[in-house]
Structure 1
């Protein structure tokens, strides 16, 4: 008992020990700290404009400081408690659609509560070890929802990108938004459009000529400098939001009334689902770049804690961010301390240089998100999946179109459902039932001590009918197998059904075999099932093909020999015999 308890405790520690602890145990040196400091500074420079831009892009009432709170508080906890060495947490463009819908429906307080609840949900998912199942999201679904989000982000930035003036609130849904923005085109600001174009050009030129320079920050700084020097008449963070605070707010709890919790719970579930997918995808990207392996359930627990902490400080949803995580790896990070330092550097910016943020034009931040959206839209993968197969194209387009025109969560769930059904259909089609002309060489030799050549003539014995099932035998294929067995026109004295090629069996398939055995018994025939694996045999027994009416055999050779002896002995009682 004590050994089992120690083993269980060890397994728990192995699953949920943060990578920070692992790294510090590896004799973390001053050289490692210097490398992490450089990487943390690099990531902070990238995260600074992105965090503010994502917050502004969400909806009216979400100010740029909330994006910084999220990156500072949430990002710190993601790195300190996470299961990935290199994960960088913060606000992500993927959440813009969901968060905007939540703010429109429940207000800022509802958003904060939904963020906290999503953190609690992620904690539960992590501790229940459900993170492993996130990998079962089909690839066409991830490409579809990522590309759909990119389209929506691009559309959401058109107002600030072109300096449009709207007479009313900007609609959330995609088509009404485009109609309203199209109607506002006469109000286009040439100055704002020029700043946005200059910012996009600066980012793209620097990416090509100086890929290691912080293109986002330089573009935003150039836009702010132009506004300040030329006194350009464009909207800035200062004119729209009054700047950003110079410190973090005091932590406080949102309204935790039961009615309010029930109201925002659907949004919290959506946040948790998307956060889990996004963060684990980001961790997988980091693994592929470094050869390391993350702890998925530990990562989800960290994401949960980070979302709770972010909500306490007025922040929004936190998740692992692929672009910033990749930047962290490329900058030479050695461990999670780089992510923690990135958060502290952002905090230092708020404390020291917050007034400078007032000069940042919204057109420049919109340009940053337009480039982000362009990078998010997995154009090459999208085109490949459209050509790959009809099934993948259907899953991809269903997810993409539902995300753009309906709802992100609906797109993911429908895409996953279609993908699962297509997978089951393909698996069912892969199951075969055939009558082998000859028994394989493997089956011709018996077990040690009873080896000998197998008489091939027995495979064509008119009294014994041999069939082989191959593939995953489950409910999707049970109907086809049952129909094939029903079509057997012959009435032999014994059947041998080989299960050596069946890796898994479900209750529907087992019931099919039990029904076939009963029908054979009524016709006076004996049914043998050979080569069944232990789990398959167990399920067959549970469905009624069991002792004392069963005998077990491991190969077709033994099953056929036993059937021959049974027939020669005159055993035509129609007993169902399981030869495992």
Structure 2
């Protein structure tokens, strides 16, 4: 139990136990301030793109960001609202209202906590790249489309959430195009990209936002700002409340909560892995999931958005010299200070500048290079990628992930089934087998050099439900009835219940047709599966040997009794032991 408890110990506690001094605090403070400067405009932009108000993004970054760093399993994780949530959050708000989003976020937090305590964190890594690349690229397209209105300064009310209706609605108001807004957006995008290239350590988002706000304030350009759209910002942390909860709506919001939990879990662990790769440290995945769950519950309680680990902000934190989770906690406190002190001037920020920030975020999310690489791979991976991408863009993120995972599972099963094969009575090259004498001429030996009344079946690859047909077709490989059947299982690494049942049926048929069945080289897991599924009367009639040489000696009448066992190995009722010979 003591060891289990340590598995869920936050990294912040570990760091403090190891020793934390003033130099560490100074480094963490500089890193936290740097990340806060980056996160300030980004949190507002993501909130607005999600259909919420800008202060909601800041509240999320403060509350969830602090808890993710304080309770998480990574030394360097920075949490808050991210681009991955924009699509699902916008859709939930459009369909269920903001209270519906808070309910979904609260439930997602509970799901994440349960998943972490159940140690599901190590399983999320099995989500394949075509699925993650497909939905992140799809999200990037939708984010880009959602910013067309502010980039072009279009005047449109009630724009639909779905991509095609959205584009139709925006096309209908194309006459309202604002050249000042478009020019400002283009200049901001160019400025961010140029700063990233030539001054990568500079906080490009904040610099461009301040310059754009200054230009608009001085020139009085006719462009929309945060103040003109949302009014005064409410710069304070709300009192936690669950007044939004409604039991009659919970089941309807559960799919959205599951999607939020999956996205939060996947992105947070990906971000933690990036941090590990940059620093050589190791994160605790299940602790991270629990922290994400607590942070999302707390965010919902104060009216915030879903939150997760942010890869770009985490990387910025590391590059800025962070040494511990204290940097992430300080980042949240600096953001709170900015929110309290700078809210009067935040209303001057033009919407075109925030749209430009999200365009750059979308470009980063698109992962065009990885997308192209996957398109060059197998047909199955391409199908998974394009299906996930298309469904994300045109239908729904939840459906996209579900279909993508199912398709990926079928592709995987098809590949595993393709690894399974069977050879029956086929010639072999002499010298390839472990029982042939070295130095002899290599030539083909029909039926492994055995008499015609002995049938040899060689199985290779995993025998599971996807490849059970290989076992069922075994008799067709032999042809005429044989006196003795030898089943070679040395190259079978896996035998699941379906494969074991099929192999059991084959053994019964072979025993009905011949005098004897010999199984060669069955490994520990294969023996376990046979013992658990095949009836004992059948197994008692089967001879188990370790090598093909022992099987050859037996069927040719030259085997000693010490080279074999009748039935499964004795003394091991559960899994089978080392077989003699």
Tell me the TM-score normalised to structure 2 length.
Answer: 0.91
Q: What secondary structure is seen at the aligned counterpart in 2 of 1:388?
A: coil
Residue 279 of structure 2 corresponds to residue 286 of structure 1? no
Task: Please say which of residues 142-151 and 279-288 is displaced more in the overlay.
Answer: 279-288
Partner Cα distance (1:326, 1:567) in 2? 66
- Paired position in structure 2 for 1:549: 541
- Paired position in structure 2 for 1:496: 486
Gaps of 5+ in 2: 438-444, 570-578
8 Å CA contact 2:544, 2:566 repeated in 1: no
Q: What secondary structure is seen at the aligned counterpart in 1 of 2:467?
A: helix
- Paired position in structure 1 for 2:404: 415
Residue 256 of structure 2 corresponds to residue 267 of structure 1? yes
- Paired position in structure 2 for 1:176: 165
Match of 1:328 among 307, 312, 317: 317
Residue 5 of structure 2 corresponds to residue 9 of structure 1? no
Partner Cα distance (1:577, 1:491) in 2? 22
Residue 41 of structure 2 corresponds to residue 49 of structure 1? yes
- Paired position in structure 2 for 1:3: none
Match of 2:265 among 273, 276, 289: 276
8 Å CA contact 1:464, 1:560 repeated in 2: no
User: For residues 568 and 86 of structure 1, do their structure 2 counterparts lie closer, same or farther at Cα, with a shift above 3 Å needed?
Assistant: closer
Residue 364 of structure 2 corresponds to residue 375 of structure 1? yes
8 Å CA contact 1:521, 1:576 repeated in 2: no
8 Å CA contact 2:553, 2:559 repeated in 1: no
Q: Deviations over 1:224-248 (max 9, x none)?
A: 1112111222211111111322221
Match of 1:214 among 172, 197, 203: 203
Task: Please say which of residues 288-297 and 337-346 is displaced more in the overlay.
Answer: 288-297
Match of 2:74 among 80, 84, 87: 84
- Paired position in structure 1 for 2:127: 137
**Deviation, structure 1 residue 458:** 7.2
- Paired position in structure 1 for 2:572: none
Q: What secondary structure is seen at the aligned counterpart in 1 of 2:422?
A: strand
**Deviation, structure 1 residue 256:** 3.0
Residue 515 of structure 2 corresponds to residue 522 of structure 1? no
User: For residues 436 and 82 of structure 1, do their structure 2 counterparts lie closer, same or farther at Cα, with a shift above 3 Å needed?
Assistant: farther
**When the two structures are aligned, how many residues end up with a matched partner?**
555
Residue 53 of structure 2 corresponds to residue 74 of structure 1? no
Q: Deviations over 1:274-296 (max 9, x none)?
A: 11111111111112222222111
8 Å CA contact 2:92, 2:256 repeated in 1: yes
Residues 377-416 of structure 1 aligned to structure 2 (within 5 Å): 377-416=366-405
- Paired position in structure 2 for 1:449: none
Tell me the TM-score normalised to structure 1 length.
Answer: 0.91
Partner Cα distance (1:288, 1:567) in 2? 56
Q: Deviations over 1:426-450 (max 9, x none)?
A: 11111122257357564569xxxxx
- Paired position in structure 2 for 1:426: 415
Task: Please say which of residues 226-235 and 112-121 is displaced more in the overlay.
Answer: 226-235
Task: Please say which of residues 212-221 and 269-278 is displaced more in the overlay.
Answer: 269-278
**Deviation, structure 1 residue 483:** 1.2
- Paired position in structure 1 for 2:454: 464
Residue 90 of structure 2 corresponds to residue 97 of structure 1? no
- Paired position in structure 1 for 2:153: 163
8 Å CA contact 1:161, 1:363 repeated in 2: yes
Partner Cα distance (2:310, 2:221) in 1? 34
Partner Cα distance (1:39, 1:245) in 2? 27
- Paired position in structure 1 for 2:298: 309
Partner Cα distance (1:246, 1:405) in 2? 37
**Deviation, structure 1 residue 548:** 3.5
Partner Cα distance (2:381, 2:514) in 1? 48
Partner Cα distance (1:364, 1:310) in 2? 26
8 Å CA contact 2:121, 2:285 repeated in 1: yes
User: For residues 559 and 160 of structure 1, do their structure 2 counterparts lie closer, same or farther at Cα, with a shift above 3 Å needed?
Assistant: same
Match of 1:18 among 10, 27, 39: 10
Q: What secondary structure is seen at the aligned counterpart in 2 of 1:170?
A: coil
User: For residues 70 and 443 of structure 1, do their structure 2 counterparts lie closer, same or farther at Cα, with a shift above 3 Å needed?
Assistant: farther
Partner Cα distance (2:271, 2:251) in 1? 30
8 Å CA contact 1:157, 1:366 repeated in 2: yes
Q: What secondary structure is seen at the aligned counterpart in 2 of 1:207?
A: helix
Match of 2:284 among 281, 286, 295: 295
Residue 110 of structure 2 corresponds to residue 120 of structure 1? yes
8 Å CA contact 2:47, 2:57 repeated in 1: yes
Residues 26-37 of structure 1 aligned to structure 2 (within 5 Å): 26-37=18-29
Partner Cα distance (2:452, 2:65) in 1? 72
Q: Deviations over 1:334-393 (max 9, x none)?
A: 111111111000001112111111111111000000011011111111111111222211
8 Å CA contact 1:122, 1:301 repeated in 2: yes
8 Å CA contact 1:459, 1:465 repeated in 2: no
Q: CA RMSD in A?
A: 2.3
Q: What secondary structure is seen at the aligned counterpart in 1 of 2:517?
A: strand
Gaps of 5+ in 1: 1-7, 446-454, 570-574
Match of 2:101 among 107, 111, 132: 111
Q: What secondary structure is seen at the aligned counterpart in 1 of 2:269?
A: helix
8 Å CA contact 2:465, 2:498 repeated in 1: yes
**Deviation, structure 1 residue 394:** 1.0
**Deviation, structure 1 residue 162:** 1.0
Task: Please say which of residues 429-438 and 212-221 is displaced more in the overlay.
Answer: 429-438
Task: Please say which of residues 394-403 and 325-334 is displaced more in the overlay.
Answer: 325-334
8 Å CA contact 2:88, 2:397 repeated in 1: yes
8 Å CA contact 2:130, 2:384 repeated in 1: yes
- Paired position in structure 2 for 1:224: 213
**Deviation, structure 1 residue 153:** 0.2
Q: What secondary structure is seen at the aligned counterpart in 1 of 2:376?
A: helix
Partner Cα distance (1:436, 1:309) in 2? 68
